[in-house]
Amino acid sequence: MISLDNVTMKYKASGRPALQGLTLDVDKGEFAFLIGPSGSGKSTFFRLLLKEDKPTSGDIQVGQFHVNKLPSRRVPLLRQSIGCVFQDFRLLQQKSVAANVAFALEVIGKPRSTIERVVPEVLEYVGLAGKADRMPYELSGGEMQRVAIARAIVNRPLLLLADEPTGNLDPTTSEEIVDVLDRVNRRGTTVVMATHDRHIVDAMRRRVLEFDMGRLVRDDQRGVYGVG
């Protein structure tokens, strides 16, 4: 699903590379945690997968896409096959819950009949049945993140990238959100989640990829957060 071969990324403005000689594979259907201190390269890794930045050297494959060689006209196709969830939810504040999710399908030209069918389904799937007409400011943080997950998965992406999705949530709500991500994964979507939340990593016992100073320093199947 994801394959990186000796990837180095050096931003023009900074001294040491943000990622250095990174080689790793994540298989279809896996759930992997990405951990490491602030500045270790986690967000850079996500940006490279989405072709929001170009690596200085090395090779990147995501699903069928050879990211390095992908012509710009095909970049939207790559991005459509990757769902993204962020710490700060990034909902459209002027749109209802249902309209936020529908928008993800409208921009890729899905017919109205499909949108009307799948939006209620996905809202129910993430635990938001009955909240379709609420506005974002009428939701709790956990509910906002459920909307963001619904929007990210409504188009059935192959891969879901979650960048500290529980960073703004209390421990109980965080567990509920990870439970939703776990269900999405069990349905077949590959999930990579960057996190600083040791309790979640220790409770889930999934693959742990640890970055430090742009290098992969640990790759454990059924790992724990560790001493870091």
CB of 94 to ligand ATP, least distance (A): 28
Query: Taking the chain, what is the end-to-end CA distance rounded to the nearest angstrom?
Result: 28
167 binds ligand ATP (CB under 6 A): no
| One residue of 26, 42, 169, 189 binding ligand ATP per CB under 6 A | 42
| One residue of 40, 166, 185, 190 binding ligand ATP per CB under 6 A | 40
The DSSP call for residue 157 is -
Strand ranges inside 10-129, DSSP E? 19-26, 31-35, 57-62, 65-66, 82-86
| One residue of 3, 24, 29, 39 binding ligand ATP per CB under 6 A | 39
Say whether 198 sits in a helix, a strand or coil: helix
CB of 177 to ligand ATP, least distance (A): 18
| One residue of 41, 83, 136, 223 binding ligand ATP per CB under 6 A | 41
The number of angstroms, rounded, from the C-alpha of 72 to the middle of its chain's C-alpha atoms is 22
Say whether 162 sits in a helix, a strand or coil: strand
36 binds ligand ATP (CB under 6 A): yes
CB of 22 to ligand ATP, least distance (A): 11
Which is nearer to ligand ATP, 60 or 154 (by Cβ)? Answer: 60
Closest CA to 78 of 196, 167, 191, 157: 157
Instruction: Judge whether 220 and 205 are in contact, CB under 8 Å.
Output: no
Which is nearer to ligand ATP, 87 or 155 (by Cβ)? Answer: 87
Give me the residues that bind ligand ATP (CB under 6 A), please.
Answer: 11, 13-14, 18, 36, 38-44
